[in-house]
A and B are shown apart, each in its own frame.
Chain A
Amino acid sequence: MKILALLHTQADGSLPKAAYETLTAATSLGQPFVVGVIGAGAAAAADAVAGCGAAEFLAVGDEAVSQPRYATDAAAAAALIQAAGPEIVLAPGTARFARCLPGVAHRVGAQVDTHIVALCGEGGAVHAQRWFYRQRILGSFSRAARPWMLLLDGGAQPAWQGASGAAHAKAVAVAFAAEDQRTAVTGIQAPAADAQTIRPDAALLFVAGAGWTKKQKDGQSHIGDAGALIQTFLRKTQASLGSSKSLVDIQSEGQETLSFMSHMNQVGQTGSTPRHPKGLATCCHGEEPHAVGWRFINERRAVNLDPNCGWAQGKADVVYVADAFEVMAKVNALLEAGGQ
């Protein structure tokens, strides 16, 4: 069984963490494998993983793939697959590859599956696991067709660690067509560093629910206070901020809400399913669509006024029945006193 670990570089020429996780998956199958790298500085990036045990390194580092664009990425990935002739293609499920590799599967006559969270090989067979119905049902499956492309979810494998060296990556020629470059990447739009609230590598996910915008004991809503409490907590803990759907929907309906919150923060059924060691939910109801967003949060705690809320039904480890405004003010004060 010939395996291709297909990777891409980032804007600075380095490999993303998810690429190293893919290498772990490739080595775990115990079969010979080839590494293919796409993007700016592809050959140098191959050197960074020279000690991974790959039989061969291939690279496409043309100027055309210096930007993450569907058509050129697809052409490059197809060329690498054709050059390597693999039966199994493993790739990180990054935004860049999730965009282009399904199309590549069509071009090279492969089958493709995504969001793979576990992988095992037995003889010539490979079995994969992924979630269906947005993290609700876990399924294990296989395919007889080859090539079979599998995009691995980030965080599901440990990152490969090993020696760098001289990989002597072989450059694979790609004939990019003019129509492959009708799209031009113009840049990355990111919030200012101090305004960035989505931190995939944070130890803690802090999720705010719509309760923060509701009327409080005095009959008034205190959205300004809520925003200040949440932002202070995020600044002091460097936690990543998540939101319930109901909270971000308030914003798109034109009502006053937390200005730093967007659909990008949303976790759950129509949002993301981030992986963090810990999660703290505040003012959330914890119904099933929201709970699925917590599937990969290991330790879960919640602050909620309703002891009968969904979080009290076996989804969280601890539910504090209390006013989140009061609790978070005290938490921030303790963090301040502790020098955080």
Chain B
Amino acid sequence: MTQGFQIVVCGSLVPDPLQTLEPVTTPQGPGLKNETMLPSVLDPWSAHALFEAAHLAKQVAGSKVWLVSLGPKAKLQQLMMTVAQKVPFELVALDGSASGFTDAHGVAAALADAIAAIPGLDKSRLLVFGGCASASRDAGVTMQLVGERLGIRDQFAGVDEIKVREDGAFTVLERIEGGQYLASTCAGAPAVLAWATGNLPEPPNNPQIGMANMRGVMPALMKAKPAPAGVGGIVYGKTEIPAQKRQTRIVKDASADEIAREIVEWVKG
């Protein structure tokens, strides 16, 4: 690689996984109760993609990372207070709904347009990263739709590893059924990689990186274009949390022998 990669990570915010979610009906379609008040985090699989992108950019000289994020501008600003401290990137913000009920087709169109409009984008160096699915819509289709819109024909899903060779070709491990990996080699960029968890831990907060990122984050938020991604062509019927309360039997005073016997009978039964 003589010039390095241009790595564009697609990722947005989702409700903090510890929050209780309750569906409600809004004029725009289904939503979440108190949605604007719910604390948010960067979507977990997108976060892994971002950390892997930064790691790769560090390894391949001349590489750069962008984070393209579609969400309500005010919430993106809050999110950036933590995310921007993790790894270096340039933010491209799109102001719109990050609801899990939006149609992936509209979201993908907005993301692809935003990526195509990045100044100086060189498709021969482009790697588009993102999560293999979001923790909100959980559809697992957005990255492929973005890739197709950008004319990228090498795509990988459920990625846990990328290893780049000197000539820019790379090997990829993708998760498949039964706890196995599909191993592939690709001739090089452009490619789309939708990440699973990867292999990297979450980087610690680095205030210096945070300060450097925030210089670009605020202007990016100021000029965030509206992205009217809604429910699109989806006609929702009912959205609900099915009652799954179980009558839990709590066994407190039994000996290990008694418990073991009961478990073995249950396993065999």
Contact A132–B136 (Cβ < 8 Å):
yes
Q: Which residues on the B side are within 8 Å of A142 (C-beta)?
A: 234-235, 237
From B239, B248, B263, give the contact of A312 (CB < 8 A): B248
Q: Which residues on the B side are within 8 Å of A112 (C-beta)?
A: 104-105, 141
Known: A183-B154, A185-B183. A132 touches B18 (CB 8 A): no
- The answer to whether A24 has its CB under 8 Å from any CB of chain B is no
Q: How far is the CB of A7 from chain B (nearest CB, A)?
A: 15
- The answer to whether B155 has its CB under 8 Å from any CB of chain A is yes
Q: Which residues on the B side are within 8 Å of A249 (C-beta)?
A: 201
B58-66, B75-83, B167-175 - interface stretch: B167-175
Interface band, chain A: 35 or more
Contact B184–A182 (Cβ < 8 Å):
no
Q: Which residues on the B side are within 8 Å of A144 (C-beta)?
A: 233, 235
Q: How far is the CB of A240 from chain B (nearest CB, A)?
A: 9
From A16, A74, A319, give the contact of B248 (CB < 8 A): A319
Contact B256–A322 (Cβ < 8 Å):
yes
Q: Which residues on the B side are within 8 Å of A115 (C-beta)?
A: 138-140
From A137, A289, A327, give the contact of B256 (CB < 8 A): A327
From B100, B101, B149, B154, give the contact of A106 (CB < 8 A): B149
Q: Is the interface of A mostly helix, strand, loop or mixed?
A: mixed
- B-contact bits for A38-74, CB 8 A (1 contact / 0 none): 0000000000000000000000000000001111001
Q: How far is the CB of B192 from chain A (nearest CB, A)?
A: 8
B3-11, B114-122, B156-164 - interface stretch: B156-164
A27-35, A80-88, A165-173, A187-195 - interface stretch: A187-195
Number of A-B pairs whose CB atoms are under 8 Å? 265
- The answer to whether A127 has its CB under 8 Å from any CB of chain B is yes
- Distance in angstroms between the alpha carbons of A304 and B188 in the assembled complex: 49
- B-contact bits for A317-331, CB 8 A (1 contact / 0 none): 111111100111111
Q: How far is the CB of B28 from chain A (nearest CB, A)?
A: 15
Contact B201–A252 (Cβ < 8 Å):
yes
- The answer to whether A222 has its CB under 8 Å from any CB of chain B is no
- B-contact bits for A113-150, CB 8 A (1 contact / 0 none): 11100000000000100011110111111111100000
List which B166-211 residues lie within 8 A (CB) of chain A: 171, 173-188, 196-197, 199-201
Q: How far is the CB of A183 from chain B (nearest CB, A)?
A: 5
- Distance in angstroms between the alpha carbons of A322 and B104 in the assembled complex: 46
- The answer to whether A265 has its CB under 8 Å from any CB of chain B is yes
- The answer to whether A196 has its CB under 8 Å from any CB of chain B is yes
- Distance in angstroms between the alpha carbons of A271 and B148 in the assembled complex: 27
From B184, B233, B247, B257, give the contact of A69 (CB < 8 A): B184
- B-contact bits for A262-294, CB 8 A (1 contact / 0 none): 011110011000000010100000011100000
Q: Which residues on the A side are within 8 Å of B105 (C-beta)?
A: 111-112
Contact A71–B153 (Cβ < 8 Å):
yes
List which B240-263 residues lie within 8 A (CB) of chain A: 240-242, 244-252, 254, 256-257, 259-263
Residues of A within 8 A of B (CB): 16, 68-71, 74, 94-96, 98-100, 102-103, 105-107, 111-115, 127, 131-134, 136-145, 179-180, 182-191, 196-200, 204, 237, 249, 252-254, 263-266, 269-270, 278, 280, 287-289, 299-301, 303, 307, 311-323, 326-331, 333-335, 338
The 22 listed contacts between A and B (C-beta, < 8 Å) are A68-B176, A68-B182, A70-B153, A70-B155, A71-B155, A106-B144, A106-B145, A131-B138, A133-B100, A134-B135, A140-B237, A140-B238, A142-B235, A182-B153, A182-B186, A182-B187, A249-B201, A264-B160, A318-B248, A320-B251, A331-B264, A334-B261
Residues of B within 8 A of A (CB): 14-15, 17-18, 20-21, 23, 30, 44-45, 100-101, 104-105, 135-142, 144-145, 147-149, 153-158, 160, 171, 173-188, 196-197, 199-201, 233-242, 244-252, 254, 256-257, 259-264, 266-268
The 7 tightest CB contacts between A and B, nearest first, are A198-B179, A330-B260, A102-B141, A102-B144, A140-B237, A106-B148, A263-B197
